[in-house]
């Protein structure tokens, strides 16, 4: 077993990995001061930022990347081989991750949770 990436500073996180189709890259959320969606190429180990200010990304069989940004669920065309987005991101669902002013006091985080499935 080997590490796919390394964090550069204490407090940096890399989380929510997902193997992309073809098995040559892994999509993940990178967190430093802000979150971003990135992918690591398994053959080379190079890391590429896909979306700035995004988190919890998932690749869909329709050829789209869905992710949370600013409390909204967005979708954008995505090529899992070239790791390039296609077109402009569009809001799919608004308000999935808003934090209420007293949410923490009530034990709520306001975090969005995204699950996808494929029907065959």
57, 58, 64: which is closest to 79 by C-alpha? 64
- Cα distance between residue 41 and residue 23, in whole Å: 9
Higher pLDDT, 69 or 115: 69
Distant-in-sequence, close-in-space partners of 104: CB < 8 Å, separation ≥ 6: none
Q: Structural domain boundaries of the chain?
A: 13-93
Give residue 8's pLDDT. Answer: 66
Instruction: Report the CATH fold assignment for 13-93.
Output: Thrombin, subunit H (2.40.10)
Q: How many CA atoms lie within 13 A of 78 on its CB side?
A: 26
Overall pTM > 0.85: no
Residue pLDDT, tens place only, 40-80: 998 888 889 999 888 889 999 999 999 988 888 999 999 99
DSSP assigned state of 120: -
Band of the pLDDT at 100, cuts 50, 70, 90?
Answer: very low
Location of structure tokens 């991750």: 97
């Amino acid at each position: 077993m080997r590490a796919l990436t390394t964090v550069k500073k204490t407090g940096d996180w890399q989380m929510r990995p997902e193997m992309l189709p073809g098995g040559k890259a892994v999509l993940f959320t990178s967190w430093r001061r802000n979150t971003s969606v990135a992918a690591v190429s398994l053959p080379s180990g190079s890391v590429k930022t896909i979306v700035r200010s995004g988190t919890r990304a998932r690749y869909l069989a329709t050829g789209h990347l869905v992710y949370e940004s600013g409390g909204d669920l967005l979708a954008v065309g995505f090529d899992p081989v070239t790791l390039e987005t296609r077109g402009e991101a569009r809001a799919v669902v608004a308000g999935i991750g808003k934090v209420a002013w007293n949410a923490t006091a009530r034990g709520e985080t306001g975090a969005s949770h995204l699950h996808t499935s494929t029907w065959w």
